[in-house]
Structure 1
């Protein structure tokens, strides 16, 4: 049976209810039906055991009541055979447990009454008086041996007791004292065994309730874990696998790849002129377009045993296992064609078709099995640029032998090495707003990288490479330096934040370099905030923890970014005093459902109770902004209130302090 919220509520109320009050009939029925077959077998074998003892007691009939022994033994055997026959018939015909219990109770009453009626005819009344004491075995059997419902136990045991009490008082030919003692003994046995039967039934019911409650809690925990896992691995807008999930899928494919002869293909997809589409039609139309594209890409990928995911913005990734580069070429062509078949009008493409198209670049693993995901993604990105140079709406497969000399110089590590020297790196700022007042609280600094042709390279491509090569250390310092310079030069008067790589955070000299930057530009430390991503498990990193403590003592704000997407967040907020905690955009986008809204509300309440200021990313609609206001969120960030822009082009309204 499905454990619903209604059942969970019933269980909670039943556990809180006093023992003396009536039980929940629905839950009682559940308990009785639980392990039904096993309990039916218990009745069956219990009857066999009871009949065996009942017949064996015939030996005492022969010894104590020899004058009627032949009839008593015959009664025992007859009642035993009929009782077993009825129970076996009921088992084979799948009688309910309640019916089998009633048959067993009738067998007990019949066995006791039939024996007593014939035993009263004996001339050995004194011996019978002593032997009748064993009639309490039937009472105990009804109340304790068999697991009858209390009403069945009470009726059957009371019937046996009243029969023996009546026989003792009115039929037994012994002294009155003996008869009164015997009657009192039976009545006491009935009362105490009935009480024990009721207590045992009550305890069984309570045990069942607690076990059921544990199952409900376990099920809720599993469902919550599955939901969190789905949120952490699913793009909120399109429902596709997100960047984290795609990276993990590649690892899984690599494990399969090691044992077969196939190759792994990576297809990087970019929507042509998507910024123009957004600017002309609006972001809602842009989101609708991305959802339609995602559905088409996913359907095509599934049809070709591939995996589609959204890598960020208007970029998508498809992973596949192929035998040759021709198979990868065929899949890339199908993906491009699937988007063209949608015939989504594009008002500003500059090409004759006037529809939304995609450009794709693909790369393939090599026989030495030494290529990692980011290397393949980098190669696919280079092939994607070739597709754009070729006029877009097409695809290219990366081939090292055919890449010209100019493109070889566009290698990402080489670009990163030249980034500062050639001024290929720049920053843009995305405003952070107070949810209640609407005033600007600060700006988040975002790094941008262009190749030698002046084309933007996706952060999803160059950031992992920069971290892998160590280039992120100097680039990150440059970004922080530039942000502080702009703060002072343009008189923003607000907090400016910058993301910190784990490589930077673990560098011993990092706090000193930050202090030097602040001193050089004359910027108050509290005007700078460093964002630590939740995925960085800083708790076990002694150097990272020491650096954070030094930065806080300096006066620099420490923010926790992307809360809820990784596994280190709860440990971090317990260990560190963050000035602001930023909840990942996926939780806000999931608020279209009641469960999603409850999840976000619980997260906000948790953070507020711990004393953290809360910032939610990804605000794209007025309804989302209104929801954040109702939840008591302090700050927000998203395309609705402000896009990332160069400082020269953005408005700089009056600001308030954050944290």
Structure 2
């Protein structure tokens, strides 16, 4: 065993190294070790340094020239402790521990975590004559790189949340321990629109902000993950029941509904949440994840900001939806859908001023599928982009055969508006059909304006610049604001049927509201259309309120092209007959 050095009790003042007899072989060896990457030390049985290279000094934080032959082990450890390069503060304790290891007289390797955060790998081998040889590797950078690689393998690089494989791993571990667990799947409601319209840089910044806010909804120890895109998940593994999981879901919806302040301005997304429990909804990760995913789909189907718990019926609903989606995809590819047209008439003359194109799907087995059933699927799967492009081309081609003063109105989907080249689609439809640009009206919803006002304004200006007319559909619902009539270049405003339905019923304020909208629109140079006119009393009401046009079953339901063309001709003939009747006879 190495001899203890009595001077080790005073580490800051090491005594001078005792010179050793000159040995040419040792000198040559020391010179050879000067360029190696490892720290190397050869000690004799008395605990004196025979050979030490410069790398040894660097690894243990010693100044150059400190590791001279003859340096006592105790002094060496004292200097290393002063530099923070030992795993113990007391060099005496460090020497005692080292001597206990050396006494075993066998080759040993261990990793030492130093006080200043370095990691040193130590290898000692016994040497002939009772001494030993030590080699020292600074593993700090390597271990940090390995730790970073291990971390990145388990975490999402954008948000630093757990990634999908690590989430499955943590979930598997929790389920293996038994007991109740809850998992929540979270999907952002408007992320794709924001990402498409504002760019991926803004989308990434939003995802990072969402991850930070989402993490604040959970406790330490819960696993929060980003599964990919705008999908997130969390595992609650402390026996949470329905009440606790629902409280978390409500916190998530509330937190992610608040605006996010990004460099490009404030944006609002919102979230939907699906919840599943173990073991009732599944005892293995795959089954449980599938249940939570189905619950999330059900929540999104109910509208934004909803949360749903899984139940067995959701699987059947998903199967039905996927079947309908597959049929819809095929119908779009085969152009098996069709447009029906409903007349919009002048409230003053009764002549048809426009025909609105409405999408219809007559399924060979399901029969007539209502738009409320297939349009949401088309929007969720982006099939609406193909569908919308086709509808523009078809409507313009059909309208080209109508009288020149009759326009055609086509609805734009929010998904088309955000992610598609609407201006290009419009130009192509007009060019292919030869329809005069002023005969096309595009109808937009108010929600499209709220999502990206600047983009809306620019697109409207571009459409109007080529002569296309723009109408706001269903005014008076949703996000209605009179400022929208002031700020956007509309040609026409369609008053929602909810207000028209109250005309003639004596319900307080109905006529005043319609009259106010028509008055403001007229002052801004816009025409108005009353939607949902079904009775003559309602027609009288909208005429009295100042509406320019009317639309509804009173004039005709939406019909296929051939039938709609005959209806158009019949209305035209009737208005000509009325116009030709002498005033006295009409009175």
TM-score range, shorter chain: 0.3 to 0.5
User: When you count helix as a share of all residues, which structure comes out higher?
Assistant: 1
* TM superposition score normalised by structure 2: 0.44
User: When you count strand as a share of all residues, which structure comes out higher?
Assistant: 2
* TM superposition score normalised by structure 1: 0.39
